[in-house]
Chains A and B, each alone.
Chain A
Amino acid sequence: MDIAIRLDSVTKTYLTGTTQTTALNGISMTVNRGEMVAVMGASGSGKTTLMNIIGLLDDATTGTYLLNGKDIGSLKDKSKAELRNASFGFVVQDFALVDQYTVKQNVELPFTYSKLRRSRDEKDARIHEVLKMLGIENKEKERAVNLSGGQRQRVAIARAIICNPDIILADEPTGALDSVTSSEIMDVLAKLHSTGKTILVVTHDSNVAQCCQRVITISDGKIL
């Protein structure tokens, strides 16, 4: 099986004043292409730090991170940003939508930073396709602030997959939703998984973790 993500002895330490905090302590893990993995752990266990490093939003202090076999440590910021745009889709607990943007403006945001040139028509067609897939095609012109929690998370998922990335990183994707909506969102993620996407879900909800093929548990920056 192809390995999408491989971490070897990754550590992350923060210096707060004179105090050194270790968020990740020698993490080694692999995630195969097309796998759906849950990362569980208590608050402060290092789940989000791990997700940030995998999503190229943060750098490991030591250790090696291979993305599709390529060492990420040697990449410059520009290349990391390009990879972030092309290879990853992010879904977070509070949806990370710009409230004042319309659904369409939010969803098309990754196009702004994409290296691939697309015509306006191609962009519009892709936006419509994705919104339709998520059942919110009639919300295109609505401002994000006017949507329900479930709808907003669907918009966030639409944005995450608009550039057709291989990997979806979902950090507590159901954390701000009721159980019915949570279940709907997990169904959407499962559907995406079925199309071959690699999905990593950070959660402390065992129901959410149950939807995944594998669960990695972290405690005090270490994988148990």
Chain B
Amino acid sequence: MKQLKYVFSDFVRNKRVNLFFLIQMIVVFLLVGLSANSIISTMKGYRAVAAIRNAQAYILSDSTSDDRFHEIFEASDENEPKLRELLSFIKERNIEKTYSQYSYPVDQFNGMPVFQYTANRSFFEVFGLTCNQGSDFTENDYVLGTDGTIPIIVGYGLRTTYSLGETYPIRDAGTGMDLHCKVIGILPRGASFYDIHNLSNEINLDHSYIKPMQDGNIESMSFSDVDMAISSTVFFTNNVDEVRSVQQKSKELGLFDYKVSTPQERIQWFVEHMKERNLFLLSIATIIVIFAAIGMSANLSMIISKNMREYSIHILCGGRYIDIYKRLFMQMLILMLIALVPTAISIGLSTSLFVTAIFAVMISVAIMTTPIIKLYAMPINRLLKEGI
């Protein structure tokens, strides 16, 4: 720790070189952090949707042309009842179970957007979501009640805004209707799920509340509600004909053109797409890292050259090479920790940050190797000759 004061004094004296060094590190760590985050998130997402991936299931991919899509939306008043009919048709099919959810941003809480989710039974089952305070939704909660109170489950971040057991007036984001919602459960901190269409996006539920998609409530759903509910549906069934009948029904009603596919196909497509993207990112990162490492190594050599006189004087006063190494190491460590801050802010305290930190240590050791070997190979008398 004796060397720490000299490290800080060096930062003050050689601001420009150290700042340049720091910027190089920030760029490299950000790039590595983002790449690692993308890869790890995709892997996590891939694992998280195992319940969908491993099941016999189907999804309806929207293949409606843009023009047709606009026509349907422009005539939403006319098409709204048809969409409801399609949703009712889905519910009437002999399908083992369906997974469906949709959401709206509704508010801000401490600068974070608050989302209102509406989800059916399988949402919780597929992602293993369960409350750690209060209770999960029961079968009855998915049935439209008579007292007009809707049970909701809130994310951890909203637990003080929406207290367990209390009822709150909430305006439904989809329909604009005023609802009375009773908080029946609170999710644990960091509860999340993945969209099968974008596995790299972990959707955190800390600032969300979830209401059940209630049977018999189709009439009060808005056009967007029904559209999102249908397009997010995953059909868990062995009978593909039941799913094709939905596709056919949509066509008959003059609604969207759906293509029946499996979630596995969709997930596989996404994984392949992410592989290509991550490979591209990693290739760029590798090139930048190589150049940056050379640059940083040269920069470190420059710092050592600039400080050679000071090091010599320290040795004259009883210091050793090991003290210089300690000092350089501390200097690198401090710069490295500062350089990791932007990455930590952008990707959060996560496995990706840990991976980036390990990378940071490895690259720091790598860039320190050449200058330190050079220094080590220099006898003290030569160091003094060059320094003093």
Give residues of chain A (82-139) contacting chain B, Cβ–Cβ below 8 Å: 82, 84-86, 90, 92, 94, 96-98, 100-101, 105, 109-110, 112-114
**Chain B interfacial residues counted at CB < 8 A:** 21
Residue contact B316 to A96, C-beta cutoff 8 Å = yes
Set of chain B residues within 8 Å of A159, measured between Cβ atoms: 317
Set of chain B residues within 8 Å of A109, measured between Cβ atoms: 313-314, 317
| CB of B319 within 8 Å of the partner chain | yes
Contact with A along B294-320 (1 / 0, CB 8 A): 000000000000000110111111111
Residue contact A112 to B381, C-beta cutoff 8 Å = no
Give residues of chain B (27-66) contacting chain A, Cβ–Cβ below 8 Å: none
| CB of B227 within 8 Å of the partner chain | no
Contact of B318 among A84, A92, A94, A101 (CB under 8 A): A84
Residue contact B379 to A81, C-beta cutoff 8 Å = no
| CB of A32 within 8 Å of the partner chain | no
Set of chain A residues within 8 Å of B323, measured between Cβ atoms: 113
Q: Do A110 and B317 form a contact, CB below 8 Å, given A94-B388, A98-B309?
A: yes
Give residues of chain A (27-60) contacting chain B, Cβ–Cβ below 8 Å: 49, 52, 57-58
Set of chain B residues within 8 Å of A85, measured between Cβ atoms: 317-318
Contact of B317 among A78, A100, A113 (CB under 8 A): A113
Report how far A205 CA is from B381 CA in the complex, Å: 24
| CB of A77 within 8 Å of the partner chain | yes
Report how far A86 CA is from B381 CA in the complex, Å: 19
Report how far A114 CA is from B316 CA in the complex, Å: 12
Residue contact B318 to A58, C-beta cutoff 8 Å = no
| CB of B380 within 8 Å of the partner chain | yes
Residue contact B379 to A58, C-beta cutoff 8 Å = yes
Report how far A81 CA is from B323 CA in the complex, Å: 11
Taking A57-B380, A96-B313, A159-B317 as known contacts, 4 extra A-B pairs with beta carbons closer than 8 A to each other, sorted by chain A number, are A82-B318, A84-B316, A113-B2, A113-B319
Chain A interface size band reads 20 to 34
Contact of B315 among A57, A82, A101, A105 (CB under 8 A): A57
Residue contact B381 to A98, C-beta cutoff 8 Å = no
Set of chain B residues within 8 Å of A81, measured between Cβ atoms: 315, 318-320
Set of chain A residues within 8 Å of B374, measured between Cβ atoms: none
| CB of B13 within 8 Å of the partner chain | yes
Contact of A57 among B13, B321, B384 (CB under 8 A): B384
Set of chain B residues within 8 Å of A84, measured between Cβ atoms: 315-318
Contact with A along B318-361 (1 / 0, CB 8 A): 11110100000000000000000000000000000000000000
Report how far A159 CA is from B319 CA in the complex, Å: 14
Set of chain A residues within 8 Å of B317, measured between Cβ atoms: 84-85, 90, 109-110, 112-113, 159
Residue contact B384 to A52, C-beta cutoff 8 Å = yes
Quote the shortest CB–CB distance from A215 to chain B (angstroms): 24
Report how far A52 CA is from B316 CA in the complex, Å: 10
Interface-central residue, A49, A77, A78, A96, by most chain B CB under 10 Å: A96
Q: Do A100 and B13 form a contact, CB below 8 Å, given A81-B320, A110-B318?
A: yes
Set of chain B residues within 8 Å of A98, measured between Cβ atoms: 309-310, 313
Report how far A176 CA is from B2 CA in the complex, Å: 32
Residue contact A86 to B384, C-beta cutoff 8 Å = no
Quote the shortest CB–CB distance from A25 to chain B (angstroms): 17
Report how far A114 CA is from B379 CA in the complex, Å: 22
Report how far A90 CA is from B380 CA in the complex, Å: 15
Report how far A63 CA is from B173 CA in the complex, Å: 92
Q: Do A92 and B315 form a contact, CB below 8 Å, given A98-B309, A100-B13?
A: no
Set of chain B residues within 8 Å of A82, measured between Cβ atoms: 318
Nearest neighbor of B320 in chain A, beta-carbon distance: A81
Report how far A49 CA is from B385 CA in the complex, Å: 11
Report how far A101 CA is from B13 CA in the complex, Å: 10
Report how far A24 CA is from B328 CA in the complex, Å: 35
Residue contact B2 to A52, C-beta cutoff 8 Å = no
Report how far A100 CA is from B321 CA in the complex, Å: 21
Nearest neighbor of B307 in chain A, beta-carbon distance: A98
Contact of A58 among B309, B316, B380 (CB under 8 A): B380
Residue contact A86 to B315, C-beta cutoff 8 Å = no
Report how far A109 CA is from B312 CA in the complex, Å: 12
Residue contact B320 to A112, C-beta cutoff 8 Å = no
Give residues of chain B (191-239) contacting chain A, Cβ–Cβ below 8 Å: none
Set of chain A residues within 8 Å of B321, measured between Cβ atoms: 77
Report how far A92 CA is from B315 CA in the complex, Å: 14
